[in-house]
Chains A and B, each alone.
Chain A
């Protein structure tokens, strides 16, 4: 009860203006039970009345990886920096699935909660946050499968990971999260006004996949079109992907310079996303 009476004393003041980069984490934290409920409900509704249920979380990336291995690896015969083809594509796929679902989920955070947002107040940040957490769990499962395969390859001698850089992995995940959420939030704010941009999101993410070394290696870009390589590496996901492969598979052309640029771009997008989200949040209920 002491927590309750303390809350009761708290004074909230609402004024027309809101700080641009404000993220009210302490308030959002008080709604942690809601975040968790959003996450679990997301899983429950996603897998209810389904034959295979949560197995889809595993089947999807595995199948994509198999298809990539066959199409790009075997039929097209693209080089994979000397790493086993299957692992090369799986590493990219798990990462990309996480990134793209984080992005599209964040981009949908206003639209999918429009009804709720226009009826009750809770920190709007709850929506993108629970989206990230849900995707982390989903991709976490995929990551465990990936680790299983990785262990097999390590013991059979096919792969030698860079153990010294393992600490980099959580940072890379955070970076990808910031980037995806940032871009997603910008898109979420813009799609309130321009609904047709929603079409662009699915399409854009698909195009982005081809601009990222998921289905091929960036070394190939360097070799075939060296003049565009610098521009190509400005894609923040390219560096994240190469860094991931470097750590887990011990191959690829990882460069600190491009990773730092990528980090800067990611943080920039995240700040932009937060500012856009705060701006949109103010008048959202009046606009839909």
Chain B
């Protein structure tokens, strides 16, 4: 390792096994073991799994040969789509989990701000929690004492510092947590979009503090964000990850350009989603039905022209017929924040493969790139829903600016246009 290099990774690989690895109970595992022994059907293997993803042997490389080298005092921006491996890389650097292959070395101490407020104990006072949190993040008592006044001042908690944090408001909680994290004595600081805490004023203060850490205290900062504005403001170099690989490493503007262009490459009107990451699916329901495809049959590219009639086609495979399910389509913006959703009336899904065609009216949504996600939900008689399957990222759509009427300023007006204002006392029935 060269002298001014503080962090170096060599061919870093992190592999995860897909699906449920075992049943989680000794009884279940024994059951599966005997079923295999006597060549019977294993009662614990989901049916769709053996057809669409072989649970036993499938692995997913969250990181696939990442080699980077970071010098002291650099502020690195780490960008990439969801699932590109950014968080996994931070997890490896912060030693929460070990790599599958390759190695990484660093000089000095790494502190991770992955989750602000980690290890806060509600029973302890703010002051006690500062000591606790500092110690968890690797500081000694003496080091914390040295800067505790600074931390308290930064947190704006004031006289409440000796009150148990369980009585804090969530804003106070987050401010205190960030204050501790921002005053850590570490050579390398890892941050995962933590700057989005507190009110706008505090966010700005946090950002300035991080600039100070990088520029004046000459610490190395690795910052993961979807927010290109903070990346631009804060980073001196950018690394773009895609499917676990480094696709660009260098100048910030260039990196953002590469990232946006790469994202466009994935735009397709036909998308196989059988292996896409799933979220919030209790296993019991997930075994019944699963999305396999999401298509835009009416279009040749991903630019939506007829906003009133966005034609979406979903292909599903079901183990058994499902009645009264509801299909929910959610649109997310480039920061992965949900913008709008639309829910279908109750529908039935037949056994085996089937196709569901839906039309969405997205005329209210304004220009930009959106991710389309879908969930098939079971709604109980108490109006509580649970997901059969939920894929947050199925395909991308683009909405071009509307050239008739007012120019809509998305950044300041928002992404949704509500119906026009009605003047006077006219009321809707």
Contact = CB atoms under 8 A, between A and B. Distances in A.
B44 interface: no
Interface in B97-119: 97-110, 112, 114-115, 118-119
A79 B109 CA distance: 60
A167 interface: no
Contacts of B108: 7-10
A13 B104 contact: yes
B26 interface: yes
B58 interface: no
Interface in A107-127: 115-122
A282 B115 contact: no
B127 to A, nearest CB: 12
Interface in A238-263: none
B121 A118 contact: no
Nearest to A116: B119
Contacts of B141: 33
Contacts of A30: 138, 140
B48 interface: no
A230 interface: no
Tell me the dominant secondary structure on chain B's binding face.
loop
B123 A44 contact: yes
Given A14-B99, A120-B112, A285 B121 contact: no
A45 interface: yes
B136 A16 contact: no
Contacts of B112: 119-121
Interface stretch (B63-71, B87-95, B271-279, B349-357): B87-95
A7 B109 contact: yes
A22 interface: no
B303 interface: no
B27 interface: yes
Given A11-B106, A12-B105, A285 B91 contact: yes
B187 interface: yes
B121 A119 contact: no
Contact of A115 (B92, B105, B118, B135): B118
Interface string B285-328: 00000000000000000000000000000000000000000000
A26 interface: no
Contacts of A284: 97
A193 B136 CA distance: 26
A20 interface: no
A12 B106 CA distance: 5
B132 A37 contact: yes
A219 interface: no
Interface residues of B, number: 47
Nearest to B164: A48
Interface size classification for chain A: 35 or more
A224 interface: no
Nearest to B121: A41
A282 B98 contact: yes
Interface in A1-55: 4, 7-16, 18, 30-31, 33-34, 37, 41, 44-45, 48
Among B22, B97, B141, max chain A CB count under 10 A is at B97
Contact of A119 (B96, B131, B185): B96
A8 B187 contact: yes
A209 B140 CA distance: 40
A286 B102 CA distance: 18
Nearest to A286: B97
Given A33-B141, A120-B136, A196-B26, A45 B123 contact: yes
Contacts of B29: 194
A8 to B, nearest CB: 4
Among B16, B95, B121, max chain A CB count under 10 A is at B95
B121 A283 contact: no
B1 interface: yes
Nearest to B123: A45
Given A16-B100, A45-B123, A195-B24, A119 B115 contact: yes
Contacts of B22: 193
A10 B98 contact: no
Nearest to A17: B98
Contacts of B98: 14-16, 18, 282-283
Contact of A122 (B104, B106, B131, B136): B136
Interface in B118-143: 118-119, 121, 123-124, 128, 131-132, 135-141
A258 B102 CA distance: 48
Nearest to A46: B123
Contacts of B404: none
Contacts of B107: 8-12
A11 B96 contact: no
Nearest to B88: A286
Contact of B123 (A48, A119, A121, A122): A48
Nearest to A121: B95
Given A31-B138, A37-B131, A120 B24 contact: no
B189 to A, nearest CB: 13
A34 B82 CA distance: 34
Contacts of B100: 16
B136 A14 contact: no
A48 B166 CA distance: 13
B185 A285 contact: no
A201 interface: no
Contacts of B94: 120-121
Given A10-B107, A15-B99, A41-B132, A116 B118 contact: yes
A117 B1 CA distance: 29
Nearest to A40: B128
Interface of B: 1, 16, 22, 24-27, 29, 91-92, 94-110, 112, 114-115, 118-119, 121, 123-124, 128, 131-132, 135-141, 185, 187
23 contacts: A11-B105, A11-B107, A14-B99, A15-B99, A15-B102, A15-B103, A16-B100, A37-B131, A45-B121, A45-B124, A115-B118, A118-B96, A120-B118, A120-B136, A121-B110, A193-B22, A194-B25, A194-B26, A195-B25, A196-B27, A197-B26, A283-B97, A286-B16
Interface of A: 4, 7-16, 18, 30-31, 33-34, 37, 41, 44-45, 48, 115-122, 193-197, 282-286
Given A196-B26, A283-B97, A285-B91, 4 more contacts: A16-B98, A195-B25, A283-B98, A286-B16
